[in-house]
Amino acid sequence: MEKIVTESNDESETNNEKFRYLTNPAERLMIEFGITELIKQCQRQEYDTLIFLDKSARPFSWLLQEVWPQITRAPLPAIKFVNPPAVVTDETKNRFSETFQGYLGHNICLVDETSSTGRSFNVVRELITTVVPEGSIDQFEVMTIWPRWKRQSGELTGVRAATDNSSFLSQPNSTPDSKDLRKEIATLGSNLLTHHNDISLAQDSAATDIIPLDQLSTVLSAVLDLHPTEANNHLMDWLIVDDAELMANIHRDQYSLSHLWWIFTLLRKSTVRLRSDPTPYGYQELENDTLIALAAAIEAKSNNY
């Protein structure tokens, strides 16, 4: 892997002061992780086309195009946008075929911010089969939670849904807010390039390592200033841990930056395992606090902000 070298940002300005919408450091790192993994998947699968689902996934395409030339020499797949229609009719399928016939290739990946029911993926997949009936169609979720621009009111993505509920194309809607978000995405791109090597190494490590619960509890209790027993009790409920003995002989510097990256890599995917109902332990609150604290520690240790 070619090492990416970037200049540090002006340390006189804190990282949060650069962001109006992406104010959560954990969310920023989750996006960086997701785009890094998407690039790896594109390199492995050699997609012809990436289809970003409007409107929420569109900003991810801005970030991908921002950093791709700095990370890989592989050709960037063609990028298209589809807004999953509320109603799919024969007319919708015919118009989709007329619009995209000959433009999608045969190896396609659908990209969305996250998926709860899978409906959006399924609808777009159904439409694509009208154009490429025997094509390969993968799907990729950048995050495990909704991005801030979906949770906040207002049009931040530069487009709006068509008034026709069977339409699959968004309408342009450039606003001052959407332009500001694009600037933040560009700043996030600079951060991603700074972090890319660490993220990539952490992802490769976490993909094969099995985490020992006592080691994770020790690190989290130090980062979050929790009693080890308290951290352990919370983790037992919402983190899947397998065969801790296998990790007994794997040695790490527990408080190193690389270790924090590794821990964050594991925890960012654990949100799908959180209980949806409120509990006395406040799982959703703990998850949020955990990721934010880890992200803040990473940013502080990186000395890049």
Q: Answer yes or no: do 86 and 29 share one domain.
A: yes
Distance CA 216, CA 110 (A): 34
Domain containing residue 43: CATH number: 3.40.1010.20
Q: Answer yes or no: do 114 and 216 share one domain.
A: no
Which residue blocks in the chain are alpha helix, DSSP H? 25-45, 58-71, 90-100, 119-128, 148-151, 176-208, 213-224, 228-238, 257-267, 283-302
Share of the chain above pLDDT 90, in %: 38
Q: Answer yes or no: do 64 and 178 share one domain.
A: yes
Domain for residue 196, yes or no?
A: no
Domain for residue 42, yes or no?
A: yes
Tokens of 293: 């604290």
More confident residue, 187 or 222: 187
Q: Answer yes or no: do 70 and 131 share one domain.
A: yes
Q: What range does the domain containing 175 cover?
A: 21-184
> pLDDT (tens digit, 9 = 90+) per residue, 122-167?
999 999 999 999 999 999 999 877 777 876 655 789 898 777 878 8
More confident residue, 291 or 277: 291
Predicted local confidence at residue 280, as pLDDT: 39
Domain for residue 204, yes or no?
A: no
Which residue blocks in 101-175 are alpha helix, DSSP H? 119-128, 148-151
Distance CA 2, CA 116 (A): 36
For range 33-48, the mean pLDDT:
95
Phi-psi sector, 154: left (phi>0), alpha (psi -120 to 50), beta: left
**DSSP β-ladder status, 78-82 and 49-53:** parallel
Q: Flag whether pLDDT at 285 surpasses 50.
A: no
| Paired residues of 136 in beta bridges | 107
Predicted local confidence at residue 151, as pLDDT: 64
Predicted local confidence at residue 154, as pLDDT: 58
Predicted local confidence at residue 146, as pLDDT: 75
Number of domains in the chain: 2
Instruction: Look at 9-18, 125-134, 197-206, 268-277 and tell me which has the smallest mean pLDDT.
Output: 268-277
More confident residue, 300 or 65: 65
More confident residue, 298 or 35: 35
Q: Answer yes or no: do 53 and 179 share one domain.
A: yes
Q: Answer yes or no: do 215 and 180 share one domain.
A: no
Select from 131, 149, 184 the last residue of a domain: 184
For range 74-102, the mean pLDDT:
94
Distance CA 150, CA 27 (A): 13
For range 26-38, the mean pLDDT:
91
Distance CA 124, CA 111 (A): 11
Domain for residue 225, yes or no?
A: yes
Q: Rounded to an integer, what is the distance from CA 32 to the centroid of its chain?
A: 6
